[in-house]
Structure 1
Amino acid sequence: MAQNLLTIGFDADDTLWHNERFFKLTQDRFADLLKDHADRDHLSERLVAAERRNIGHYGFGVKGFVLSMIETALEVTDNRVPGAVIGELMEAGREMLHHPLELLPHARAAVEAVAETHHIVLITKGDLLHQERKLAQSGLGELFNGIEIVSDKQPEVYQRIFGGRPGGVDGAMMVGNSMKSDVVPALEAGSWGVHVPHDLAWALEHADVSEGSSRFREISDLSELSGLVAEIG
């Protein structure tokens, strides 16, 4: 156990601000556009399969999501999807990229509270320009000691980021809504992992914590973070 917890990392999407609900709304729009070609559940399965295939090509974020929707539309229509549908999907993507940002409850208070006592860093994955735009809109940027926009979140990524911060990997904590991206790899790196559940979760972000992970914690929302940080010390 770390003698001193000195650095706290925060995920961004669906930890500090809403994100997944805009993907869900666009996916509903996608299902309506293609309802004559595939039922909603089948279309959802095909879209998730396309996203899984394409992560290595397009990365995470809206742009990869839109390309996966277009690919799925081509598949379920045997390449006969109307151009107007493709146009609507592209417009939906542009709307997602420019949708006003909304902070989650307790996000600002939680970040401000731990920023007074700890070195804090934002660690987020996705499209660089979109993540930078959302951070600017959030008004939280000036509170962070560092910003890391990464292509993926693996144990070695946390080792690199936390290794160069106060307390090192052993004295760091990662806070996020994704077990797969935020919690499990941070634990595997040797840091603390704090799960903050969100009512919406992307199908590709599910993972289980190994039994006996003494550095795993879960809080119901960010209002409980400062108490947890004080407890761990």
Structure 2
Amino acid sequence: MIMDDGAKATELMNRRSFLVASAAVVGAVGLAGCTSLEGMSRAEAERVYGPLPDERFAVPAVNLNKVDPKYLRRTVRYASTEAVGTIIVDPRHYYVYRIEGDGLATRYGANVGRAGFLWSGDAYIGRKAEWPVWTPPREMILRQPEAAPYANGMAPGLDNPLGARTLYLYQNGKYTLYTIYSTIMPETIGKGVSSGCVGLLTQDMVDLYEKTPVDTKVIVLPS
């Protein structure tokens, strides 16, 4: 069949449209076949949140079915004038950010204090510890008598509330009684469960701990 120039142009456009549409369908099928966890593939999440067998107490892998994917670690855009390394706690949205510079931050999902135990303000890391002893404050023992047996300290271990790593928040040389600690309970991430402290999955806390020296600035935003 012989086509004039106008018909040829129309046919060419139709073919181009078909190729573009076909490419879009193929791309959509490819994306559908890749299980994504908020910017992280399932395979990557299983690696990042896998077991830590070489720890003093072997840490189990995170059950990814028990944590909302939006709380998994990722690099995000975060406008801030704070210095690289500054930690910003956002209890309203259950996130902890580490400023990386160039408008970026590492974001970790967190659990935060229950209503009535929320604290905000500027602080700094006055001390850090691996597998610390947990000593409940006197005020906690009065509220929760079941903590009394640990008045002189609870030995490190997987059952210890502070877990594998802890960053202690200070103001003006004094411990505020608030910490950023590690937890092996993924079901607590995105919830208000603690007495004012902030918890990260152990795998995330190990990552943050290694990057955070003593004297690092911490900003806890109002809830």
TM-score interval w.r.t. the shorter chain?
under 0.3
Whose helix proportion is higher, 1 or 2? 1
Higher gyration radius (CA): 2
> Which structure's relative contact order is higher, taking Cα pairs within 8 Å and 6+ residues apart?
1
Q: How does the TM-score come out when normalised to structure 1?
A: 0.22
Q: How does the TM-score come out when normalised to structure 2?
A: 0.22
